[in-house]
Structure formats: C-alpha cells, structure tokens
Amino acid sequence: MSITGTVTVRDNKYRPKGDFHRVEPNTPIRSADEGWRLLGVTNPREMVYIHSYGGEAPFFESLGRGRLLATRCDDPACGMQGTVYQPFRIHCIDCLGRNTVFDMTELAQKTARIHTFMVCERSGAFNVLPTPIKFINIEFDGVATILMSYLSVGEPAIGMRVVPIFRTVDPTYTILDLSWVPEGTRAEDLPQGFAFQDE
Ligand SMILES: [Zn+2]
C-alpha cells in the first residue's frame, strides 16, 4: 500500500490528511566474501514531501491549461523596466518590485528556438522522463533569460525552431507539464496527454 498524504489550505493554514511517512522493516547487509558477516542495514522509508509554490503557483496552474506565463518589470522608475523573464520570476532582480504576470504563449509559438542542448543517456533517482533525455535551452525574442526544458519529438539542433506543448490531460502541476517539439510537428505525434494548447 502506498502512502496517502494530501494537503489542503483552509483558513490560511496547511491541513495535512492521511499518512505522510512510513517505515518498512529493515534488512541486514551481509558480506558474501566474508562468511556473511554483518556490515550494516538498509532502512526503507517512504515520505511525502510538501512543496509550496508560493508566487510561482500561477505558472504551474497555467501549464495544465495550455498556457505559458512569464513575468515583466513594469516599474517606470526601474532601469530594467520592460524586461521579460522566462523562467517566471516573481520579483524584479533590479528593483526588487513585484513583476507583472503575462501570457507569452503566442510569443513562444512564434519565436522559440534552441539556444543549446544536451542529451542525457542516464539520469538521477526519481527521474520519470524516458531516456535519452533531450534537454534544451530555449531563447525567445524579447525575453532576457533562457528557459531549460526538454524536447519530446525529434532530435535537437542549435537554432532549431520549436513550439511549446502542454500536458492538459491529467497534469502533474510540475515543470514536466511543459515540453517542446520542432515547429511543424503534427498533433498526432505528440506524447500522450499533451496538446499544443487547451481546446
Ligand atoms: Zn524592476
């Protein structure tokens, strides 16, 4: 049986419900080289990690709705006024004011291209992406920063035009709900659950 912890916020307080951790029986680690001498134990543990998104929550909510949100400093007194950030930055790094959230889905569809990329044949613990993973750094017209994501169809190349796709069926509310495919990819070739935008 898996652990069942869920969290709801009510009256501005976190309300955990269910199991948040479980300890399974341990097992000895013994040496096959030395007469099965005891060397240690394994300690199986399951836990639910509570990850709060704070001011970035609108970004993750929007991915499942087929929209890519960015932020921009709109303070006329700031030397960086008009600068657009993707990844989504809650505050301007220059004036520390609260940035304006805006929808850059169309901008991404029209101007996204691969700045550089790397292909990983092996990955770390808890990775859920199929390998090899095609990590891509994406640049956009008029955006000051570069976004790290992954290519779901085809092979990456520097300068390749790509368009965003979104996991609109059973979204995970994580960055994995956003991926990219080469411009011109057909809708039927997208990974299961993904769409170019929410219908
Ligand atoms: Zn600013």
CA of 85 to the centre of ligand 1 (A): 11
CA of 100 to the centre of ligand 1 (A): 10
CA of 59 to the centre of ligand 1 (A): 20
CA of 143 to the centre of ligand 1 (A): 14
DSSP summary character for residue 134: E
* For residues 172-183, average pLDDT: 97
87 contacts: CB under 8 Å, gap ≥ 6:
145, 147, 148
CA of 79 to the centre of ligand 1 (A): 7
Strands 178-182 and 162-167 come out as: antiparallel
Query: What are 115-157's pLDDT values in tens digits?
Result: 999 999 998 878 889 899 999 999 999 999 999 999 999 999 9
1 contacts: CB under 8 Å, gap ≥ 6:
none
Task: State the Cα–Cα distance between residues 52 and 16, nearest whole angstrom.
Answer: 13
CA of 53 to the centre of ligand 1 (A): 22
- Contact predicate 45/21, CB 8 Å: yes
41 contacts: CB under 8 Å, gap ≥ 6:
26, 27, 28, 29
CA of 72 to the centre of ligand 1 (A): 8
Query: What are 3-22's pLDDT values in tens digits?
Result: 889 999 999 999 999 999 98
- Contact predicate 105/122, CB 8 Å: no
pTM of the shown model? 0.88
**Ion ligand 1, residue ranges at CB < 5 A:** 73, 75, 78, 80, 92, 94-95
CA of 97 to the centre of ligand 1 (A): 6
Summary mean pLDDT of the chain: 94
